[in-house]
Structure 1
Amino acid sequence: MGLFQDKSDKTEKATPKRLSDARNKGQVAKSAELGMAMLFLLGLILVEAGGGSLIEALKEGLRQGFSLHVEPEITRTWAVETLRTAILRVAPGILIMMAILVATALVTGFAQVGIKFTIEPIRPKLEKLNPIAGLGRMFQLRSVMQTGLAFLKFVVLFGILWFNIQGDLPVLLTLADMPFAESAPIVAELAIKIFWWIAIVLLLLGILDLIYQKWQHQKDMRMSKQDIKDEAKSTDGDPEIKARIKRAMREVSRRRMMEEVPKADVVITNPTHFAVALKYEKSDMAAPSVVAKGADEVAFKIRELAKENKVPIMEDPPLARALFSSVRLGDEIPRRFYEAVAAVLARVLRMKQEAR
């Protein structure tokens, strides 16, 4: 295989089996960019919604620690206890946020590819260590697109930072002269505004990346006509072998059928194109059954066997055609044929009586 693989012959859509096999190997259309964007967006929402409460809880924990400090000097024990109290205050809120983020990551992944666990993508593969193959992957469209997306993301994010900082630059230059209590809200407001712009851009890029990943996956899964033929052989077996097996089975079935002709009570013919052998045993059958039937060459063999075994042959073209097309081998004749077949059997019985 060359450095650049020619896929011009892969013009056919992937079969369900190929898609299923690829899915089992972890080869699915999935956008990591969209997952990261969703996490960033939800994290921003959670911070805006619950960040104030967490800060207040942290302040309360610190105030509680300071209120318990009665010694003139700050000791290590007091510092550790104060920090522990503050952390315990905010821990429930942080754990809830983390749980929501983890759930979001799982839901985002499942929404893109469904529930499928496989270790195939992380299984060590020797071809990944091949420098020539690695060089080839560098020039694949997927790698080029990923590099381009990363560069576009960098440019857009840098533009967002520059645009927002430039707009608020006069205010930012005065922050150094402000008390912390006054400057902190200004910085926080600017940061939130920048983060919202970043979240929107990341979400849009993630959606575009997902669209591209789906398109690229469908392209990668394309098959050549030979691939489809090979898959059909591996799944259903070689068509030539299957045809030979079918012919052999038909031959066995035909031999068994021919063995029943000598046991028949009558053979009804077209007279040359169709032949239907009937057998009737009052003790075992509710109606005569078809023990053999055939057209053209098979009909000829049935007639020959009937002659050799002295089975009566009766010409009745309409009845022969109707029985051949309407009654399956081994089945009893339907009620609508009772009268016609009874007349034929009666003629056969009269012929036998006259022969005596």
Structure 2
Amino acid sequence: MAESESGQDKTEDPTEKRKKDSREKGEIARSKELNTLAIMIAGSVALLIFGGALAQELMELMRQNFSLSREVILDQRSMSTYLLNSGLTALLAIQPIMITLVLAALIGPISLGGWLFAAGSLAPKFSRMNPAAGLKRMFSFKAVAELLKAFAKFLIILAVALLVLKSDIDDLIRIAHEPLELAVIHCLQVVGWSTLWMSCGLIVIAAVDVPVQLWESHKKLLMTKQEVRDEHKEAEGRPEVKQRIRQLQREMSQRRMMAAIPDADVVITNPTHYAVALKYDPDKGGAPMLIAKGSDFLALKIREIAVANEVLLLESPALARSIYHSTELDQEIPGGLYLAVAQVLAYVYQIRQHRAGKGKRPDPLKGDLPIPPDLRRDSCYRR
């Protein structure tokens, strides 16, 4: 069982954040044996495919360079030109094989762990310069495992090489009796097939190394229960920070609410402990909206803003309490209060007509407004 520096057992699977941080540091599963296998097999296949053309190009290049005239050999400029042309010809000849090897060198690491470029992994680690730590790594279990793996790799490659040499002994003898051009091409084919079969011997090593690397990578990422709790707490944020954020959100909401009060049609009060501001837009349809509400000091501020902006104040304790407890900001009032609020809005419109000189002053609303029992909050009022 893995242990942390604090002595706690690492029994918990890594979180997504832990995995992400590990990738950013370049700490992911990689298998050197898988990379070597990909490069060796790709190089062998490329040699078998392009080996014939490569042999012909190189033999033609040798013919040209070994049949120079005496004047050309003594001319430095001509020799420089020949050298440059020969280099370009050789590069073009081996280009297909080099491209194949480069692709294999990229695909090999990507096949395990995916594509990753972590700048942090390029930074120097001064802890590796510590001689004591170096000696500890040399005699660690991992170093012994790497030594055993290298020895096993040597034995497997040796066994495959002996089998390949035994099977190719007739071809090797036949090469000695072939013309030079055929012998060179035949030799490249033998080398390509021999390398391919010896590369296939690495499949056994890679098949063992890949699961081991995945297991070791997962083991490094394991977390203790305390680490999981700390990360969860960090992700959610500190309680004091969350409380401050909620406070700021409440203040912003209150400022928006106060700014909407001048547009209200009516403010219904308790008369002192509750205040709710309603707005009805007949063009949009629907029910009246609650655009502001508050109790105690906030109710007082709502009334003050309403008076300052000539918004009608209407005292209806039961209706004010019902709306306050049943409706959230910027929501329509519940259906059970439609009739009561309709009477209030009708009274408000009559007051507006009277103030505009278009009608007589309406009689004040008398009696309790029709509020369903399930929406009454009389028991909440203990003032």
TM-score computed with the length of structure 1 as normaliser: 0.68
What is the correspondence of 1:102-141 to structure 2 with a 5 Å cutoff? 102-138=102-138
- 1:122-143: CA deviation from partner (whole Å, max 9, x where unpaired): 3222222234444554566654
**1:279, 1:291 within 8 Å by CA — same for their partners in 2?**
yes
**1:62, 1:85 within 8 Å by CA — same for their partners in 2?**
no
Paired AA for residue 105 in structure 1: A
Give the superposition deviation at 1:88: 5.1
Q: CA 1:336–1:175 in 2, change beyond 3 Å: closer, same or farther?
A: same
Equivalent-residue separation in structure 1 for 2:89 and 2:200 (angstroms): 32
Give the superposition deviation at 1:94: 0.8
- 1:175-217: CA deviation from partner (whole Å, max 9, x where unpaired): 5996575987887665444322221122443344233322321
Aligned to 2:209: 209
Equivalent-residue separation in structure 1 for 2:338 and 2:197 (angstroms): 86
- Any gaps of 5 or more consecutive residues in structure 1? 270-274
Aligned to 2:48: 48
**1:62, 1:86 within 8 Å by CA — same for their partners in 2?**
no
**2:257, 2:292 within 8 Å by CA — same for their partners in 1?**
yes
Equivalent-residue separation in structure 2 for 1:313 and 1:206 (angstroms): 82
Aligned to 2:316: 313
- Please give the secondary structure, in 2, of the residue aligned with 1:12: coil
Paired AA for residue 315 in structure 2: P
What is the correspondence of 1:330-349 to structure 2 with a 5 Å cutoff? 330-331=330-331, 333=333, 338-344=338-344
Report the number of matched residues.
Answer: 334
- 1:297-347: CA deviation from partner (whole Å, max 9, x where unpaired): x79x979x99xx996234369x937x745x431445488954441135568
Give the superposition deviation at 1:153: 1.0
**1:35, 1:108 within 8 Å by CA — same for their partners in 2?**
yes
Give the superposition deviation at 1:41: 0.8
- Please give the secondary structure, in 1, of the residue aligned with 2:276: strand
- Please give the secondary structure, in 2, of the residue aligned with 1:277: strand
Equivalent-residue separation in structure 1 for 2:56 and 2:186 (angstroms): 18
Task: Name which of 260, 264, 267 aligns with 1:265.
Answer: 267
**1:164, 1:194 within 8 Å by CA — same for their partners in 2?**
yes
Q: CA 1:314–1:347 in 2, change beyond 3 Å: closer, same or farther?
A: farther
Question: Is 2:364 aligned against 1:352?
Answer: yes
Equivalent-residue separation in structure 2 for 1:177 and 1:252 (angstroms): 89
**1:59, 1:86 within 8 Å by CA — same for their partners in 2?**
no
Aligned to 2:379: none
Equivalent-residue separation in structure 1 for 2:267 and 2:337 (angstroms): 16
Equivalent-residue separation in structure 1 for 2:4 and 2:337 (angstroms): 71
Paired AA for residue 61 in structure 1: L
Equivalent-residue separation in structure 2 for 1:155 and 1:30 (angstroms): 23
Equivalent-residue separation in structure 2 for 1:223 and 1:86 (angstroms): 60
Aligned to 1:147: 147
Give the superposition deviation at 1:67: 4.6
- 1:117-176: CA deviation from partner (whole Å, max 9, x where unpaired): 33422322222223444455456665454333222211211221233445667x59x959
- 1:51-74: CA deviation from partner (whole Å, max 9, x where unpaired): 122212222233344555579xx9
Identity of aligned residues (%): 29
Give the superposition deviation at 1:92: 1.0
Aligned to 2:161: 161
Equivalent-residue separation in structure 2 for 1:228 and 1:151 (angstroms): 40
Paired AA for residue 36 in structure 1: T
**1:265, 1:279 within 8 Å by CA — same for their partners in 2?**
yes
Aligned to 2:25: 25
**2:279, 2:290 within 8 Å by CA — same for their partners in 1?**
no
Paired AA for residue 312 in structure 1: E
**2:34, 2:210 within 8 Å by CA — same for their partners in 1?**
yes
Larger displacement relative to structure 2 (38-47 or 85-94): 85-94
Equivalent-residue separation in structure 2 for 1:353 and 1:89 (angstroms): 105
Paired AA for residue 265 in structure 1: V
- Please give the secondary structure, in 2, of the residue aligned with 1:329: coil
**1:58, 1:87 within 8 Å by CA — same for their partners in 2?**
no
Q: CA 1:292–1:5 in 2, change beyond 3 Å: closer, same or farther?
A: closer
Aligned to 1:272: none
**2:268, 2:315 within 8 Å by CA — same for their partners in 1?**
yes
Equivalent-residue separation in structure 1 for 2:344 and 2:83 (angstroms): 108
**2:280, 2:289 within 8 Å by CA — same for their partners in 1?**
no
Equivalent-residue separation in structure 2 for 1:66 and 1:241 (angstroms): 82
What is the correspondence of 1:211-230 to structure 2 with a 5 Å cutoff? 211-230=211-230
**2:39, 2:104 within 8 Å by CA — same for their partners in 1?**
yes
Question: Is 2:94 aligned against 1:99?
Answer: no
What is the correspondence of 1:78-93 to structure 2 with a 5 Å cutoff? 89-93=89-93
**1:38, 1:203 within 8 Å by CA — same for their partners in 2?**
no
Equivalent-residue separation in structure 1 for 2:252 and 2:88 (angstroms): 83
Aligned to 1:277: 276
